[in-house]
C-alpha cells in the first residue's frame, strides 16, 4: 500500500526504487510493484491485484509516469477471486496500460490547482492523470520492446514545458 498504510489482512512485497541519471540530464526509473492476493473480497485495496510496472521520467519541468498491469498475480485464483464469477475468463491475465500521469511545475489547464507534498517532485505539483494514456504504448511494448515506453514518456515529458495536454 502507498502512504505506509498497510491493512493487516494481507501483505505486499517491497518495490525496489532506483533512479538513474541520463545523458540528457533527466532521471529515469523502472519499478516493479508486487501484486497481492488478499482473502478479503470487495473493498478498495483487497482481493487480487497483479504486479505493476511503473516507468518514471523526471527533470526540471516535473515528472511523468507510465503504469502497466502485468497480470502476474501471486497465490491462487478462483471464480470471483481473480477469475470471472463463472470462472471462464481470466480477465487479469493480459498486460494492460494503467494510466499516464503528469506531475507538472506549471498548470496544465485553466483553473488547474496545485497540490503540495507530491512524492515525486515535491510541491507545488500540478498533477494530471490520463487513464487511457498508457494503453497504446503498452500494446506496442509487448511486441516491440521497452523503447516504445521511453518514447511515450519523453513525449509526455516534453508536453510539461508547454503546460497543455497533447
In the complex with Zn ion, the residue whose CB is nearer, 34 or 95, is 34
Q: List Cα–Cα distances, 83 to 5, 29, 68, 93, 119, in angstroms.
A: 27, 32, 19, 9, 34
Spell out the residues 6+ positions from residue 120 whose beta carbon is closer than 8 angstroms to its own.
Answer: 56, 58, 63, 65, 103
- Determine, following the binding rule CB under 5 A, whether residue 40 of this chain makes contact with Zn ion: yes
- Determine, following the binding rule CB under 5 A, whether residue 103 of this chain makes contact with Zn ion: yes
In the complex with Zn ion, the residue whose CB is nearer, 38 or 156, is 38
- Determine, following the binding rule CB under 5 A, whether residue 46 of this chain makes contact with Zn ion: yes
- Determine, following the binding rule CB under 5 A, whether residue 152 of this chain makes contact with Zn ion: no
Q: How far is the CB of 147 from Zn ion (least distance, A)?
A: 25
Contact 132, 101 (CB under 8 A): no
Contact 150, 156 (CB under 8 A): no
- Determine, following the binding rule CB under 5 A, whether residue 124 of this chain makes contact with Zn ion: no
- Determine, following the binding rule CB under 5 A, whether residue 83 of this chain makes contact with Zn ion: no
> For the CA atoms of the chain, what is the radius of gyration?
17
In the complex with Zn ion, the residue whose CB is nearer, 9 or 142, is 9
Judged on CB neighbours under 10 Å (0-12, 13-18, 19+), 125 is buried
Window of 78-86, 90-98, 103-111, 156-164 that interacts with Zn ion by CB under 5 A: 103-111
Note the residues at the interface with Zn ion (CB under 5 A). 7, 9-10, 38, 40, 46, 103, 118, 125, 127
Amino acid at each position: 500500500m502507498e502512504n505506509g498504510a498497510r491493512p493487516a489482512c494481507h501483505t505486499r512485497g517491497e518495490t525496489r526504487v532506483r533512479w538513474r541519471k541520463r545523458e540528457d540530464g533527466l532521471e529515469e526509473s523502472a519499478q516493479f510493484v508486487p501484486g497481492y492476493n488478499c482473502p478479503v473480497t470487495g473493498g478498495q485495496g483487497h482481493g487480487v491485484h497483479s504486479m505493476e510496472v511503473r516507468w518514471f521520467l523526471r527533470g526540471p519541468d516535473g515528472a511523468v509516469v507510465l503504469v502497466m498491469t502485468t497480470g502476474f498475480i501471486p497465490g491462487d485464483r478462483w471464480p470471483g477471486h481473480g477469475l470471472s464469477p463463472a470462472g471462464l475468463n481470466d480477465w487479469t491475465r493480459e498486460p494492460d496500460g494503467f494510466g499516464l500521469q503528469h506531475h507538472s511545475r506549471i498548470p496544465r489547464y485553466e483553473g488547474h490547482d496545485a497540490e503540495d507534498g507530491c512524492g515525486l517532485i515535491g510541491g507545488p505539483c500540478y498533477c494530471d492523470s490520463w487513464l487511457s494514456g498508457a494503453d497504446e504504448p503498452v500494446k506496442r511494448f509487448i511486441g516491440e520492446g521497452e523503447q516504445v515506453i521511453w518514447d511515450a514518456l519523453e513525449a509526455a515529458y516534453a508536453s510539461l514545458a508547454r503546460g497543455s495536454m497533447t
